[in-house]
Structure 1
Amino acid sequence: MALLDGLDGPEDLRALRGPELDVLAAEIREFLVDRVSRTGGHLGPNLGVVELTLALHRVFDSPRDTLVFDTGHQSYVHKLLTGRRDFDRLRRRDGLSGYPSRAESAHDVVENSHASTALSWADGIAHARALSGDGDRTVVAVIGDGALTGGMAWEALNNIADGTPRRLVVVVNDNGRSYAPTVGGMMRRGVEGIIKELGLSYIGPVDGHDVAELEVALRGARAAGGPVVVHALTEKGRGYAPAEQDVADRFHAVGRIHPETGLPVVPSRFGWTGVFAEEVLALGRDRPDLVAITAAMRQPVGLAPFGEAFPGRIVDVGIAEQHAVTTAAGMAFAGLHPVVALYATFLNRAFDQVLMDAALHRAGITLVLDRAGITGDDGPSHHGMWDLAMLSLVPGLRLAAPRDGDTLRTALREAVDVRDAVTVLRYPKGALPEPVPAIEVRDGVDVLFHRDGPDPVLIVSVGAMAPTALAVAHALERGVTVVDPRWVLPVPSALVRLAGEHAQVAVIEDGLREGGVGAGVALAVRDVPVRAFGLPREFLAHGTRDEVLTSAGLTAERIAAELA
């Protein structure tokens, strides 16, 4: 990889000529397949933006000119071209982030892993520079992977088209997909017509894999001096046969794979998402009123089998979580029971809709939050650690945190039977734990462990923290009871009664300490001291789930020492 190894920064690109750029593009693709197959990561999106990123860095002067990638998982090539070639610990503790990161490089401005925000960022930066007299610097927003299905992107475009002069280039990386083919009338209508109707200058479509053609378009956009949209047509997974032949977008994000075949090195164990997928499909057969809603992620959240079985009863709204929740409320009013499946981190974007559109109207909808708690390698923007504290503010909302596959199945069936309130299920990323059976059930609260002894402590386990709670109990030399309420919001009255039988209460959760389940238990239990063991109110770096929990003090050893 002679050319790639010789690049120390974007300035080195400008001395290369056409044939050399083709060689460099091939070297970059070889590098990405080799490294990402070892670590896992977003492979398909980055293979599709090689030539586009080369052209961007040859035409614009980063970091003086600002590049913003939306979604940020398409920034691996940008990292390579800005001097970051150590991909051996990609998305691992102390390694490169899977998204742009200000901590890594002056070339990165926006972490941007929640889609559809880049145009607002770019518009704000360009406005500020125009006002401050620094208007000869160009801001470039690269938006793709379905991010134009998000409403915030169109709010920004509306503003960008207001006629105010500022140096802003919008590059639409049009590969026709996010996790799956992009949806919606605007996408079918086509980018060009919509952009021109807004009154914005438009260049394209151009071949997103022809560096020379891209450079001509980008230089023209830069010279215009005002907002311009450049429309580039690219192919996701370009240059890697397994990804080019894939129709299910399995190579959008991969674990460790064999680079020659694209097959997983270690087949995935059956996980939480798989249990949900099976159970919601079974419910769909029994309940013709059940409908499913996905925000451009039917495969990752487990709704693909439901969609195949009931194609008329699944709605993909694109990257539009706000609309997903409110349209679900409308469906509930009209007699259906919608199941809205999202990653927990993306529910943050729809809090107002949960509060004012769904809960205020007592809408019978079920929110299923995949990847709740600590997700690991995707880092601070993807940890699903905010949901418990955020949703605890919503009147009437009921939230279940299943501890294993059996309790997930039970909780989902209970949730979809509720017709006058928002119900929520949350569970983590990854493989299922071994079943954790209850030794008895007391007024709807599962008792997982009990030992008589002095100064008894009641350990309240929240969802997937059950193995940790049991390990704490075994480590203590005092009376101890471990319970799993399963439905943790609102705090069950049976749990309050149980607390009164103990000298102390400890709540273990993989959500925020402040405002989470532990805080709710402390408010409900007046006469017994309550300790909340959860995550700090901080943005936590990427790492494995165990690494992040250890750094946050959520280990059995640490908790047991504090309760001894």
Structure 2
Amino acid sequence: MILESIHGAEDIKRLSLSEQKTLAKELRRFILEKTSMHGGHLASNLGVVELTIALFHSLNLPQDKLVWDVGHQCYTHKILSGRKDDFDGLRQLGGISGFPKREESPYDCFNTGHSSTSISAALGIAQARDILGGKETVVAVIGDGALTGGMAYEALNNASKMKKNFIIILNDNEMSIAKNVGGISTYLNGIRSHENYTHFKENFAAGLSRVPILGPSLVDRLKNTKNSIKQLFVRGMFFENMGITYLGPVDGHDIKALETVLQEAKRVDHAVLIHVVTKKGKGYVPAEQSPSHYHGVSPFHLSTGKDKAESTGLSYTKIFSQTMVEEGRKNRNIVAITAAMPDGTGLDAFEKAFPRRFFDVGIAEAHGVTSAAGMASMGLKPVMAVYSSFLQRGFDQLVHDVCLQKLPVVFAVDRAGLVGADGETHQGIFDLSYLRLMPNMTVMAPKNARELQEMLRFALAFSGPICLRYPRGEAYQGFSEQQEEILLGKAEILKKGEGTALLALGSMVSTGAHIAEKMEKKGYNLTLVNARFAKPIDTEILDRLVEEGHHSIITLEENVRNGGFGEAVLEYMNACHPEIRVETVALPDAYVEHGSVSALREILGIDSDNIIRKMQEKGIFKD
């Protein structure tokens, strides 16, 4: 196998074109085998195999710099840069990340994980290169989907000012910006990237202005005529008019064509964009037919494409999805918004039921938040469903456009808490902290499946900004028969005890139940409270716990400690009941690596056994 002989970029450079094509087949087979065993991002990685080979062949890596947008398509990049033997640990605790990480390899020059960032990062690297006198070629790879993010256009605007080579690759996986016009496009692209034409373009105005008979006004008219003609024939004029040379479209699975255009692009002395057309899921029929379904996969059977492990219960996302459709039938003012994730957030069902009331804003969370605010200002009831780690991208819009105006927007925050294998960039462990600090925001979290439904109905009837956060995965069914009416800022007591009270929020209610059950066997009768609201917290129930003789309160949350639910409780208790001991169980002030959720909870000390051990060490629980 050719793949066995590849340990870095220099090994790629020695391969003939036919050997590179064979390598592409071997890479696809390898990626399919590993993701079928361990899960991961499949369709996007299958789509960029040839592009990655061409980049490794054409660039001088790792001296040259290559930044992948989002980064979930970096598997071939990692394999070709010497990490093939690490793929059995891909996305697993202690193993390699599914995204580029600087600490992993010199080939990973910039950490990525969120969308629309690569041009900005690579532009900064190129600007640093120029200041420091470097000669590196700098390349940003960005997908067509990521171009829906405003940050990409901010970066393009600045890239147009570059006076030295800077390459942007638009990886268009069959969502082309414009139609292929055939031979004229190829011909013009070749002329425009040729250094003789580049020199001609640079000297065009200067040459005309030296002819006395013409004069400045005629020079301008000739230049405008030239640009008008180009707009008739040349694709990519959007980029051209910004001052960025456009090359393409190029077949993203034709290695020779890719290497040719990369060499042409390296000769351009300013920003240049190469439009590459690829097929997501290339080489695996199920992924080609349903690239969205095979974007991120759990372990699956290669022969059929079906998951190896069937879910035994409904997920929180599915319950949210079903409830949205039910409520949408009752209220025509309910509208749904997603940022390019209708399937992941469960809004695909709402889209099918009410297509006119569904809005996919693309990878543009900030725009999604403000557009929701606009809808709310006109009397609609917008629900924006978004992953916790992606809602961060709309922070200013939450503060300025929603909360300042007290607009009744519902934020359904999915994947709140630890999410597992996607690692630092995707863990939803900050939302309680950043949402709690916003005036006029209400934040709640359900204890189980049934409460998610009731909280969504409460949120839809609420008159201000409100956030409903829930975790990834199967919904907890415990305490389904215990369901007090949901009232603003009110908690509920699930189990009455004495001495020590567990005050648990959302996903940590089940952990609190396990702690109470285990400690009961040791002679402790703990009180278990479902907090329900992280803002406002239920101060009345805190007062009652004190009146009933509780001497200790333990808060439980799946969020960082700083600014979280526990700190809100601690602040109140220190001010009003300083004699009561409060212990906050939360995540540390750190980014959390990739691994299974259960393993991460144990390492971070928020599983029931570790919490009991900590409380024993602190003297609250005694053997």
* C-alpha contact (below 8 Å) 1:71/1:112 kept by paired residues: yes
Cα distance, 1:10–1:283 mapped onto 2, change above 3 Å: same
* C-alpha contact (below 8 Å) 2:165/2:267 kept by paired residues: no
1:471 match: 514
- 1:509 counterpart (550, 557, 565): 557
TM-score (normalizing by structure 1)? 0.94
Structure 1 residue 438: Cα displacement: 6.4
Structure 1 residue 433: Cα displacement: 2.1
Q: Does residue 399 of structure 1 match 2:451?
A: no
- 1:338 counterpart (369, 372, 382): 382
TM-score (normalizing by structure 2)? 0.85
Structure 1 residue 166: Cα displacement: 3.0
Larger % of helix: which? Answer: 2
5 Å-filtered alignment, 1:239-318, equals 239-246=283-290, 249-269=292-312, 270-318=314-362
5 Å-filtered alignment, 1:8-23, equals 8-23=7-22
2:243 match: 199
Segment of structure 1 superposing worse, 37-46 or 500-509: 500-509
2:235, 2:437 → 1: CA distance? 40
Which amino acid counterpart does residue 47 of structure 1 have in structure 2?
L
2:335, 2:166 → 1: CA distance? 41
1:106 match: 106
* C-alpha contact (below 8 Å) 1:146/1:176 kept by paired residues: no
Which amino acid counterpart does residue 611 of structure 2 have in structure 1?
I
* C-alpha contact (below 8 Å) 1:45/1:145 kept by paired residues: no
2:588 match: 536
Structure 1 residue 441: Cα displacement: 4.8
Cα distance, 1:344–1:303 mapped onto 2, change above 3 Å: same
- 2:163 counterpart (159, 162, 165): 165
Which amino acid counterpart does residue 88 of structure 2 have in structure 1?
D
What 5-or-longer segments of structure 2 have no aligned partner? 179-233
Segment of structure 1 superposing worse, 443-452 or 191-200: 443-452
Which amino acid counterpart does residue 3 of structure 1 have in structure 2?
I
* C-alpha contact (below 8 Å) 1:445/1:495 kept by paired residues: yes
2:540 match: 494
Structure 1 residue 498: Cα displacement: 3.0
Identity percentage of aligned residues: 39
1:494, 1:327 → 2: CA distance? 37
Structure 1 residue 209: Cα displacement: 0.4
Cα distance, 1:145–1:97 mapped onto 2, change above 3 Å: farther
Cα distance, 1:380–1:129 mapped onto 2, change above 3 Å: same
Which amino acid counterpart does residue 299 of structure 2 have in structure 1?
R
1:187 match: none
Structure 1 residue 227: Cα displacement: 1.2
Which amino acid counterpart does residue 302 of structure 1 have in structure 2?
G
2:322, 2:236 → 1: CA distance? 41
What 5-or-longer segments of structure 1 have no aligned partner? 184-189
Structure 1 residue 480: Cα displacement: 2.0
2:64, 2:5 → 1: CA distance? 23
Structure 1 residue 546: Cα displacement: 1.1
1:433 match: 476
Cα distance, 1:466–1:447 mapped onto 2, change above 3 Å: same
* C-alpha contact (below 8 Å) 2:319/2:449 kept by paired residues: yes
Segment of structure 1 superposing worse, 497-506 or 383-392: 497-506
Q: Secondary structure at the match of 1:557?
A: helix
1:57, 1:392 → 2: CA distance? 46
2:269, 2:81 → 1: CA distance? 25
Q: Does residue 35 of structure 1 match 2:87?
A: no
Q: Secondary structure at the match of 2:82?
A: coil
5 Å-filtered alignment, 1:372-451, equals 372-419=416-463, 421-437=464-480, 441=484, 444-451=490-497
1:550 match: 602
Which amino acid counterpart does residue 157 of structure 2 have in structure 1?
N
Q: Secondary structure at the match of 2:468?
A: strand
1:360, 1:354 → 2: CA distance? 8
- Structure of greater Rg: 2
2:483, 2:554 → 1: CA distance? 20
Q: RMSD value over aligned CA atoms?
A: 1.8
Residues 358-395 of structure 1: CA deviation (Å, up to 9, x unaligned): 00000000001110000000001100000001111011
* C-alpha contact (below 8 Å) 1:506/1:532 kept by paired residues: yes
Length, aligned pairs only = 547
* C-alpha contact (below 8 Å) 2:448/2:479 kept by paired residues: yes
Structure 1 residue 226: Cα displacement: 2.1
Structure 1 residue 243: Cα displacement: 1.1
Q: Secondary structure at the match of 1:299?
A: helix
